[in-house]
Amino acid sequence: MKYKDIRELSDEELAQKLEDGRAELFNLRFQMATSQLDNTARVSVVKRDIARIQTEMRARQIAADNAAAQN
């Protein structure tokens, strides 16, 4: 998922994508442990997507805190 696409999502959608990503990462790790995972690069992609989502969520939180502090 591109960062541009992540920025366009609402807070609820971001939270849902984060939950989905963490669930997928759990499943991928489980598959890797049992030697059933064919595409090991998918783990890195999912981890990057989770990091991008968390970065955007934190940026929004900081922006909201700054806006509240200025008032």
Q: Which domains does the chain have, with CATH numbers?
A: 3-70 (1.10.287.310)
Supply the pLDDT for residue 27: 97
Residue type, 47: K
Tokens at residue 38, please?
């064919």
Write out residues in the chain with pLDDT < 50, as ranges.
none
Average per-residue pLDDT for the chain = 95
Supply the pLDDT for residue 1: 84
Supply the pLDDT for residue 17: 97
Supply the pLDDT for residue 70: 87
Give me the DSSP letters along 38-57. Answer: S-THHHHHHHHHHHHHHHHH
